[in-house]
Structure 1
Amino acid sequence: MWFNSFGFWLFFGLVVLIYSRLRLAGQNRWLLAASYFFYGCFDWRFLSLILFCTVLNYHAGIKIAASEDERHRKFWIGWSIVISLIVLGIFKYLGFFTHELSALLQSFGVIDTPWVLHLMLPAGISFFTFHALSYTIDVYRRDTPVCRSFVEFALFISFFPQLVAGPINRSTLLLPQMGKPRPPCDAARFKEGLYLVMSGLFLKVVVADNMAWLAGHVFSSSPESLGGLEVLLGVYAFAFQIYGDFAGYSSIACGTACWLGFDLAVNFRRPYFAISPQDFWQRWHISLSTWLRDYLYIPLGGNRQGSLMTYRNLMLTMLLGGLWHGAAWTFVVWGGIHGLWLAVHRALGGGRRKDAPDSVGLVLVKWLVTFHLVCLTWLVFRAETFAQAWGLMLRLGSDWSWTAYAQTSLSLIGFFLLPWLVYEAWVERRKDDYALLKTPWVWRAALYVYLTLMMLFFPPPVPAEFIYFRF
């Protein structure tokens, strides 16, 4: 059930209609039933997986909170982490590692044919697993009180707006909202939710899906058949496809949750205006980058043990962050490139505070370099194999002829992206995510009319599923 489908909005309308007529306990039970129905629409067989994850971590949280014995507490937090990661590993990585092991054994002549193991990937398994782990770790650290209401905890894990593609909401933010009355959808909340939903739908339907077929042409063609300009424009198209797709989903999730009285974590903050790798990860998939920082990078030692250990911790964190995205070596290398980039940037003093701001010219140079390095990493992320990624990179250095595809791509990228980028530049200058909501209503109306007309008259040739459903 996609956010950009009529079926979802019929479902959401029914949810809101009944939800608004219930008290807190009834609202929670109704939202829990609706969330399980929502997930069951993807594949009802995996409802038991969410229930298992919920029961496991609910029970572990109670055991951790009930004991003052550190060994007992460590046993239960270890049990929670190990079992959760084993379940994640089986469904997401077992087929990949089985294939790699069999290929290695085949190369040594131990077996004749590689093993093939295909397991269906449950939608959003990485997201709800990280939700659950953040809770038990926070209870262990005594950062959050234990939740004794199973319904409230189950709703925290399965809350449908953020269930299959985030944001990854911490127990310290979202869980307390489950146990107290939520504010009604007044004029302010309706206005905020409408802005988030409209902008999210535009990013998905107009930006992401129209860029998808441009990017798909490049990444489905042999590198030898493409020119350098065609590859570059295809990489640009994918950069904005994945941004529009994921930022659009996160925006709609936050908007629908806002209408229900919940506040979710901000997940994107205009990432392509970043001027350094550190700045990029403070703007892109913020809920994941902060999760990795707080539950992996800092426990590894962070930057407290000298430069070499800091660089090691950055690399390990980003390598695992890459692996989180999928069971393929290209994702691991993508994470490794970002880790190396962060380490080099830090070694060159990029993370230190400066007495005076950079000049406009230097900021522009930093922005151009950062954007294009991010795009090159997206090339590795999107490529099916290393051979394809390397072939496309080599093509960037040759044959920059002006082809029909290049002309069409540049025109469409400009048509679909330029107005939105101008708007985002205005928001970036204001340093306020909700700057539009503080302007006269006529400006908001003009933007909503533009977004609506673009969605009505320029839908994609072929709608695409949300990319992060795969993760």
Structure 2
Amino acid sequence: MDITGFSYLVFFVLVLAGHRLLQGRHEAQKLLLVAASYYFYATVDWRFCGLLLALTAINFVAGNAVARAPDAGAARRAITGAVVLSISLLCYFKYLNFFGEMVNSLSAWLGAGSLVPFVNILLPVGISFMTFQAITYPIDLYHRRLDKPCGVLDFAMFMAFFPRLLSGPIVTAAYFLPQLREPHPRVSREQGFEGLALIMRGIVKKVLLADTLGVCLVEPAFANPGGFSSPFLWLALFGYSFQVYLDLSGYTDMARGASTMLGYRLPVNFNRPYLATSIANFWQRWHITMSSFFRNYLYDPLAQSGVAPTYVNLLIVFVAIGLWHGAGWNFVVYGLLHGSMVALGHFRDEVRARKGKSAVVYRGHTLLLRVAFIFVVVVLTRLLFRSADLALATSYIEGLFVFRDGQFPVSVAGLLALGAAAALHFTPVQWRDQFMAYANTRPAWMFGAGFASMLYMVVAMTRGTGGFIYFQF
């Protein structure tokens, strides 16, 4: 089911209506949402529901075992079992062939034949998101971020909640499960309008802007980088950076909007990442729930163990972030580059602190230059994120810096989408907040007219609708 399509609109309206009709019957509402969520996931591929059930069962049992554990050792064993089983499922579906290729390369280097056969495995949509979300339950119970275990219906809804099932944001057990304990009051008119405005904003980001950038700039350039001029390749690379941002933030807006209309909260996932003043600051602004997960559930335990120095821990975390995005050496290099830059920034801050100097503060033109520099660094490393392998990334880099005759097929639609994307991202945030506040106070008929006009523009002006980029993660 395409969540920007008419079928999803009908599905959501029916679920929303059923949820409203069951107002005051909290358990029935949750049962409806669980059933609707499994139906939604089955429309993607019914076989994926088995994986969702397995992750739900493993971590629900482990979480209750942690809550009933007689001592810390027993609780840690329950967590270890849940994490190992959950990550093993993730590795099987997502990384088996990648690790098999590594083993075969090593055996070939030693003069032996291939040891691991290639296995054609269907990658379940959203497997990384649901795996990481699942293991937060036993861990949050152990660390008392969650004060008590939940019932099986609550946990099933936490795992399957359809607005964020396919592409996040990553919601921890400590954040979402407390929302399910008490019946929610009826969703107010303001909440309904806020949710609808978020959905509208997400559709515009995805369909009108991200997909247009993909069709007009990104896909042609990456399909054949040798056939285009250097300026076009630069333009396409900037276009991809905005495409991937608008694609995922658009999905997040739609997920948060649908959740708000149902009476639940999802966390903010982006904070204008291309205004970052350092690579570390970029990761504090980009895909915030993912960055927070790796910080809280991987970096902090590594740092507390004291086994390795901070810089090694940072590299481990960022290689894990790279691999989370995909099973390929390009993602490993992507993680190493970002981890090295974060580690270098951390080292610089430590040196300044030892010398009694305060942290660097950028203002005025230095702030502008710093933001521009970090933005270009992020854009260049996106090559590794977008390229199918290191060979394509290398070919694209050559095209960027070796000026040659080539095509420059820029369309008006592509330039308009790129300009609108930049304006949407770099204009002052208070303008957006003021517009959202104004929209939320408008009469229902005006909101309906705006929604109908937006749907018309989506149908009339879009250059093509592709799947969400982060569905592969």
TM-score normalised according to structure 2 size: 0.91
CA shift digits 1:172-199 (9 cap, x unpaired): 1111112221232212101211221111
Alignment of 1:33 with 2:35, yes or no, is yes
Counterpart CA distance in 1 for 2:422 and 2:74 is: 53
The answer on 1:393 being equivalent to 2:403 is no
Name the CA distance, whole Å, in 2 between partners of 1:437 and 1:50.
36
Shift of 1:38: 0.6
Question: Separation in 2 of the partners of 1:36 and 1:447?
Answer: 32
Alignment of 1:222-261 (within 5 A): 223-261=225-263
Higher mean C-alpha displacement, 243-252 vs 437-446 = 437-446
The AA in structure 1 aligned to 2:393 is: A
Partner AA of 2:179 in structure 1: Q
* Partner in structure 2 of residue 334 of structure 1: 334
- The Cα of 1:5 is off from its aligned counterpart by 0.9
- Output the TM-score relative to the length of structure 1: 0.91
> Structure 1 pair 114/391, CA: closer, same or farther in 2 (3 Å)?
farther
The corresponding residue for 2:196 is 194
Give % identity. Answer: 33
Alpha-carbon distance in structure 1 between the residues aligned to 2:405 and 2:138: 56
Q: How many residues are aligned here? A: 462
Does the alignment pair 1:309 with 2:309?
Answer: yes
Provide the aligned C-alpha RMSD in A. 2.6
Are residues 420 and 453 of structure 1, via their aligned partners in 2, closer, same or farther at CA, if it must alter by over 3 Å?
Answer: farther
| Corresponding position of 2:69 | 67
SS where residue 241 of structure 2 aligns? helix
In 2, the alpha carbon distance for the partners of 1:333 and 1:305 equals 25
Q: Give the drift of 1:4.
A: 0.4
The one-letter code of the counterpart of 2:381 is T
Partner amino acid, structure 2, of 1:241: Q
* Matching residue of 2:137: 135
In structure 2, the CA distance between the partners of 1:15 and 1:371, relative to structure 1 (3 Å rule), is same
TM-superposed CA distance for 1:113, in Å, is 9.1
Distance in 1 separating the partners of 2:63 and 2:14: 33
Alpha-carbon deviation of 1:48? 1.4
What one-letter code is carried by the residue in structure 2 that aligns with 1:138?
Answer: D
CA displacement 1:9-37 (0-9 Å, x = unmatched): 11101101111111101000000000100
Contact 1:184–1:260, Cα closer than 8 Å, also in 2: no
Output the CA distance in 1 between the equivalents of 2:7 and 2:84.
37
Q: Which amino acid aligns with 1:70?
A: A
Distance change in 2, residues 1:202/1:400 (3 Å): farther
Does structure 2 conserve the Cα–Cα contact (< 8 Å) formed by 1:99 and 1:117?
A: no
Question: Which SS does the other structure have where 2:21 is aligned?
Answer: coil
2:461 — aligned with what?
458
Question: What whole-Å deviation, never above 9, does each CA across 1:373-412 have from its counterpart, x for those lacking one?
Answer: 111111111111212211211221122668432x43xx44
Q: Match of 2:312, as an amino acid?
A: R
* Residues 246 and 468 in structure 1, CA contact (< 8 A), matched pair in contact too: yes
Post-superposition Cα deviations, 1:314-342, rounded to whole Å, max 9, x if no partner, equal: 11111001111111111111111111111
Distance (whole Å) between structure 1 residues aligned to residue 279 and residue 360 of structure 2: 20
| 1:436 match | 435
Partner secondary structure for residue 349 of structure 2: coil
Residue aligning to 2:387: 383
Tell me, yes or no, if structure 1 residue 358 matches structure 2 residue 362: yes
User: Residue 401 and residue 184 in structure 1: after superposition, are their counterparts in 2 closer, same or farther (change >3 A)?
Assistant: farther
| Other-structure match for 1:17 | 17
Cα gap change, 1:13 to 1:448, in 2 (>3 Å): closer
What residue number does 2:420 align with?
A: 419
CA drift of 1:447 comes to: 8.3
- Amino acid in the other structure paired with 1:65: A
SS of corresponding position for 2:112:
coil
**Superposed CA offset, 1:337-369 (max 9, x none):** 111111122223399895785322011101111
Report how far residue 204 of structure 1 moved.
0.6
Structure 2: gaps (5+ residues)? none
CA pair 419-212 structure 1, distance change in 2 beyond 3 A? closer
State the SS of the aligned residue for 1:334. helix
Please state whether the residue corresponding to 1:44 is helix, strand or coil. Answer: coil
Letter in 2 for 1:159: F
Counterpart-to-counterpart distance in 1, 2:374 and 2:453: 30
Distance 1:99 1:305 in 2: 33
- Is the Cα–Cα contact under 8 Å of residues 103 and 114 in structure 1 kept in the other structure? no
**Judging changes above 3 Å, is the alpha-carbon distance between structure 1 residues 84 and 427 closer, same or farther for their aligned structure 2 residues?**
same
Distance 2:437 2:148 in 1: 39
